[in-house]
Structure 1
Amino acid sequence: MNPASPDDRADAGWQAGEQMLQRGDSEGAIVAFEANLSRAPGHVQTLLALSAALSRKGRHRRPRQLVVQAHDAVPDVAQLLFAVSLGLYRFNEFARLKETLARPVFRAEAPPRILAEAAAGLVAAGDTASAMQLVERALQIDPGCAAALYFRGNLRSFGGDTAGARADYLACLDSDPRMFQASWMLTGLRTATPGDNRVDRLLREATEAVPGGHGECFVRYALYKEANDLGRHQLAWQSLERACQIGKRTSRFDRDRFTRLVDRMLATFDARMLARQSTVRLASTPVFIVGMFRSGTTLLERILAGHSVVTDGGETYAFAEEVRTEVDRGFDGAFDVSVLDGIDCIDLDAIATRYSASAAWLSKGRAMFTEKLPSNFMNVGLIAMALPRAKIIHIRRDPMDTCFANLTTLFSGAVDHANDQHDVAAYYNGYARLMRHWEALLPDRVLTLDYRALVEDPASHAMRIAEYCGLDYEPGMLDVGRAGGSIATASTAQVRQGILRGRSGAWRPYAAHLQPMLRDLGVPVPAVAAGNPA
């Protein structure tokens, strides 16, 4: 009998730890993984398994380091490269993510669905060109791969190719009729009309989807959109209400906890705290665009990225990632109470130094780049402290227009407040309180714009934006519907149409159903309750 090779022994040690996890012995698994790494420091599966196990314990700094070690050690095996890419995506390690998925063996050997899923990670990292290459490779192997057709449809939609996106989504549904997310994406490509709508198809799909599952949620949001376009407000509201019920079941948003977090932030970030400054200087300048989701942040990014020295960095958690690493806490979203717990010990220079690597990736060699994660309004104080030269632009929109747009949008799991009227209003009220605080204490750092005023007079606002950023105004800033660039947000279709006016008041046909939100926001209910009910 031949003795086990070092690789076999390393695999056995990793599998022993995995078996402990399956039995619920997380502490024993961590010990087993640590022991295996002491014998085989570059064993990729163990590095990833230990990273995940420590992350489940709330740790963040070492889990991130372990994933970077896995990246450095991973051999040319497609399955392992994909596993490492998932870890890198989790920690916003964009440059390493691209390098991992660029290896020729991955494109040559990964199956079509894995290629398509890897492409989604590259989109999140802002590399749509490499993402499209992976998707095209997947479809070269299997022209009927539903996942690849769906992701290519997304890429085409993000790039403004509406006809191509429509063809891909329809082909996706032909290949797999239960890819209901393709039906949802189809509805966003155009405004439904009596002669061109999918209402009957969506009503049928609603009966075919698993009740209360993700598929039904996609269909219900799509049905709301189609029915609303057609003025069928009763059907639209019924569909939206059902979609929100499904989403609420998995939401972890706690409005009381969020309100307490905002209270504590207001008390913590006073003038003395905000006077602390990092001494690190970045090679390029980030322009943070903050506000509520669906408040005009995508439009603002397109205006900025129309300038010759600015590139669009997209919607990333790059800054939040460096805060997580600093406080060694793997929280979701942009901010967490654990940041406040360790605020006096935070090393601002360390945050800035680590963020500079992301800045180099996001800037693509230009002098300025956008950071368009709306929920970075939570991080305005830390951004001002850690990145003294960063620009911060806040765009605000009418409270009801904003909150109704949140309620009617199917977000990813990163947005948990949007399935309930009380939750949306509580999130908006907390956001408004924080922004008033930042504006009062950082008047020279934060530029606030009003969405309605921006769309009514875009030229003067673009000039104001350029001046604030220290740039000369360029007419190209107003060409937001231009070809080029990728818009991977819920506002893709609208922004590609240019700067649109008259988009306020979409909630009014549903005013009779929106009394909880109206009251929580302090909107005078009697003034709207007599409107056009559904």
Structure 2
Amino acid sequence: MPRSANEHRPAGDAGPRLDGLAPEALQHLQAAAHAIRDGAIDTASQALDNVLAVAPEHPEALRLYGLLHTRTHRHDEALAMLQRAIAQWPDYALAHSDLGNARQAAGDMDGAFASWRQACTLAPDAPMPWFNLGRNLQLHGDTAAAIAALEQAQAQAPDFLPATILLGDALVHAGRFDEAAARYRAALTLHPACGDAWRGLANMKTRPLSEDDREHLARVLRRPDLLPSDRIATGFALGKVCEDQHRHEQAFAALSAANAQLRELAPWDAGAFRQHADAILAASARLPPPLDPGLGHEAIFIVGLPRSGSTLFEQILAAHPQVEGASELPDLEQVLGEESSRRRQPLLHWIGDASARDWQRLGRRYLERTRRWRRHKPRHTDKLPSNWLLSGVLGAMLPGAPIVDVRRDALEAGWSCYKQQFYRLPHFACTLTDIAAYIRDYERIMAVWQADMPRRIRTQHYEALLAAPEAEIRALLAFCGLPFDPACLDYHHAGRNVRTASAAQVRQPLQHDTARADRYGALLDPLRLGLGRSTMVR
């Protein structure tokens, strides 16, 4: 997804509304806008106070104050400021758009979409309101509506690069790969070094990039003026095309360089993560028995390592007429974050103090937040891989929810993680040794929960699915409390949106030639050693 997308603003929306302000007040407004962008909270607040001292209730100052409060998570103040601005200028599309952002931050998604749509109604010829609406529809999982909004944005501004990229992403998620590729190529026409475009093309993993692409990527990487974000994405794309062409040493070199640059942005601390994981394990072991053991049966959690087949198993389940595939949901983490904010303590500090009634309340809050995924079907999947760390918490909070722990050969899964650019930083996948350490922690902790909750956690092996598809699918459905349905055998025909890097792969039948690690020989020995395996013969 394009970075800093919400920073783009349609030209001319606020200009005429600043007429009549004294030059000094205009300077304060400009200083406030820059300070908000740079995160200088006190500077921005002082500048806005200076404006309001000479122009009380000026809508643009109120709007910027709303932005400031949104950035600092002061939701009530943000909403109040933006509503005061709109009371002065009811037709100010930008203020309505910002009100949508504030409502989203406050957890009012229905209100947020109403505000974003109102912005589009007020400024139908401006690209930014459509882009903002499309971006949030896409984040919310409404891909068809997102495509329609983003097409409007691009129609108003064909050279608006973020809209072009995000439209390509939405088309990928809808399975419209030819159209998506055309959008990414159009973006490269506008900006040949656009890392997001190369990322989009490379993530359509069933479509090889060409020799011309490889040469183009190599030229781009030689540019001294390349932005770090573009250099990283381009490096991952070069690694992909080199692997497709069996240039394994070149692929490894390109991926190693890209991962090193990504790690420089935010280094992963394997030791700190191990301590954190052990602390959550110890705290979760002392949670009270649930008041309602069936609470949460509507949800099916799919956890494990990224790139292990979790999207494939979600696709299988989502082919069932009773299950909606919701992809990687943030709701579990956000519900726990809400409780941490309410208690003014991090999770590890309050987890042991929460009562069974508290956990029941939090479980119901999760079900409330995810209700939209069950509008048409009674159950939904939640396949954020890192939720494995919260398996113990789920036993108290949503004890009726089955957990599918997806496993793939650790060497193959680890190498696949190394090849994938992750945007949530810091990330464990930037070095082979960190990947191995993460896998060891994951397997060790999940073994504890598997022994403690064998009826609630199913270890689902990717390789077992390849060997006996129907038997494994029947067993998976039975574990989830679902009757067998033959549509699950033809999962690749399921008409749904897939919002992960596996969007292309799960729309084809099972592939039996996905192993790649051995082609790299001794280059992957650090990963093998970390996993306790023998190294390759040199």
Which TM-score band (shorter chain)?
Answer: 0.7 to 0.9
Alpha-carbon spacing, 1:466–1:192, altered in 2? closer, same or farther (3 Å) = closer
Any residues of structure 2 matched to 1:32-181 within 5 Å, and which?
Answer: 45-53=64-72, 55=73, 63=74, 77-87=92-102, 94-103=109-118, 105=120, 108-109=123-124, 111-112=126-127, 115-181=130-196
Alpha-carbon separation, structure 1, partners of 2:470 and 2:377: 23
Alpha-carbon separation, structure 2, partners of 1:267 and 1:471: 33
Alpha-carbon separation, structure 1, partners of 2:434 and 2:402: 30
Shift of 1:461: 1.6
Partners of 1:157 and 1:165 within 8 A in 2: yes
The corresponding residue for 2:289 is: 275
- Selected match of 2:270 from 235, 255, 268: 255
Partners of 1:425 and 1:517 within 8 A in 2: yes
Is 1:523 matched with 2:533?
A: yes
Alpha-carbon separation, structure 1, partners of 2:76 and 2:353: 21
Alpha-carbon separation, structure 1, partners of 2:294 and 2:94: 39
Shift of 1:46: 3.3
Partners of 1:77 and 1:105 within 8 A in 2: no
Is 1:303 matched with 2:322?
A: no
- Selected match of 2:522 from 506, 509, 512: 512
Alpha-carbon separation, structure 1, partners of 2:429 and 2:210: 31
Residue 123 of structure 2 aligns to a residue whose secondary structure is helix
Alpha-carbon separation, structure 1, partners of 2:294 and 2:45: 36
Shift of 1:139: 2.1
Shift of 1:315: 0.9
Any residues of structure 2 matched to 1:478-517 within 5 Å, and which?
Answer: 478-482=489-493, 484-504=495-515, 506-517=516-527
After the TM superposition, which of the residue ranges 292-301 and 123-132 deviates more from structure 2? 123-132
Shift of 1:86: 4.1
Alpha-carbon separation, structure 2, partners of 1:24 and 1:496: 42
Shift of 1:126: 0.8
Alpha-carbon separation, structure 1, partners of 2:118 and 2:229: 33
What CA deviation, in whole Å up to 9, does each residue of 1:326-345 have, x standing for no partner?
Answer: 011899xxxxx921111133
Equivalenced residues, count:
502
The corresponding residue for 1:448 is: 459
Could you state the TM-score of these two structures normalised by the residue count of structure 2?
0.82
Code of the aligned partner of 1:319: L
Q: Which ranges in structure 1 are unaligned for 5 or more consecutive residues?
A: 1-7, 56-62, 332-336
Alpha-carbon spacing, 1:427–1:160, altered in 2? closer, same or farther (3 Å) = same
Is 1:338 matched with 2:346?
A: yes
Alpha-carbon separation, structure 2, partners of 1:89 and 1:194: 38
Residue 488 of structure 1 aligns to a residue whose secondary structure is coil
Any residues of structure 2 matched to 1:6-17 within 5 Å, and which?
Answer: none
Alpha-carbon spacing, 1:25–1:231, altered in 2? closer, same or farther (3 Å) = closer
Code of the aligned partner of 2:194: M
Alpha-carbon separation, structure 2, partners of 1:389 and 1:442: 11
Code of the aligned partner of 1:430: D
Shift of 1:113: 5.0
The corresponding residue for 2:306 is: 293
Code of the aligned partner of 2:528: L
Alpha-carbon separation, structure 1, partners of 2:424 and 2:80: 28
What CA deviation, in whole Å up to 9, does each residue of 1:181-206 have, x standing for no partner?
Answer: 21232234365779765111111121
What CA deviation, in whole Å up to 9, does each residue of 1:272-319 have, x standing for no partner?
Answer: 42524468956x701111111111110011001000111111111111
What CA deviation, in whole Å up to 9, does each residue of 1:21-68 have, x standing for no partner?
Answer: 79998579789999x9xx99x966434423422x5xxxxxxx456667
Alpha-carbon separation, structure 2, partners of 1:89 and 1:397: 37
Partners of 1:310 and 1:368 within 8 A in 2: yes
Any residues of structure 2 matched to 1:438-477 within 5 Å, and which?
Answer: 438-477=449-488
Alpha-carbon separation, structure 2, partners of 1:289 and 1:68: 36
Partners of 1:227 and 1:233 within 8 A in 2: yes
Residue 449 of structure 1 aligns to a residue whose secondary structure is strand
After the TM superposition, which of the residue ranges 403-412 and 170-179 deviates more from structure 2? 170-179
Code of the aligned partner of 1:416: H
Partners of 2:303 and 2:403 within 8 A in 1: yes
Alpha-carbon separation, structure 2, partners of 1:214 and 1:159: 26
Code of the aligned partner of 1:338: P
Shift of 1:500: 1.7
Partners of 2:319 and 2:494 within 8 A in 1: no
The corresponding residue for 2:325 is: 312
Code of the aligned partner of 2:527: M
Alpha-carbon spacing, 1:405–1:65, altered in 2? closer, same or farther (3 Å) = farther
Shift of 1:146: 2.8
The corresponding residue for 1:198 is: 213
Give RMSD over aligned pairs: 3.6
Shift of 1:507: 1.6
Alpha-carbon spacing, 1:190–1:299, altered in 2? closer, same or farther (3 Å) = closer
Structure 1 vs Structure 2: percent identity of aligned residues?
25
After the TM superposition, which of the residue ranges 110-119 and 240-249 deviates more from structure 2? 110-119
Code of the aligned partner of 2:373: L
Alpha-carbon spacing, 1:95–1:21, altered in 2? closer, same or farther (3 Å) = closer
Residue 102 of structure 1 aligns to a residue whose secondary structure is helix
Alpha-carbon separation, structure 2, partners of 1:168 and 1:362: 29
Alpha-carbon separation, structure 1, partners of 2:209 and 2:102: 46
Shift of 1:98: 3.4
Any residues of structure 2 matched to 1:208-227 within 5 Å, and which?
Answer: 208=223, 210-211=225-226, 213-227=228-242
Partners of 2:433 and 2:530 within 8 A in 1: yes
Residue 496 of structure 2 aligns to a residue whose secondary structure is coil
Shift of 1:470: 1.7
Partners of 2:281 and 2:392 within 8 A in 1: no
The corresponding residue for 1:371 is: 382
Alpha-carbon spacing, 1:201–1:79, altered in 2? closer, same or farther (3 Å) = same
Any residues of structure 2 matched to 1:367-446 within 5 Å, and which?
Answer: 367-414=378-425, 416-446=427-457
After the TM superposition, which of the residue ranges 188-197 and 475-484 deviates more from structure 2? 188-197
Partners of 2:66 and 2:79 within 8 A in 1: no
Alpha-carbon spacing, 1:204–1:162, altered in 2? closer, same or farther (3 Å) = same
Alpha-carbon separation, structure 2, partners of 1:444 and 1:461: 17
Shift of 1:384: 1.9
Shift of 1:119: 2.3
Alpha-carbon separation, structure 1, partners of 2:303 and 2:83: 35
Q: Which ranges in structure 2 are unaligned for 5 or more consecutive residues?
A: 1-20
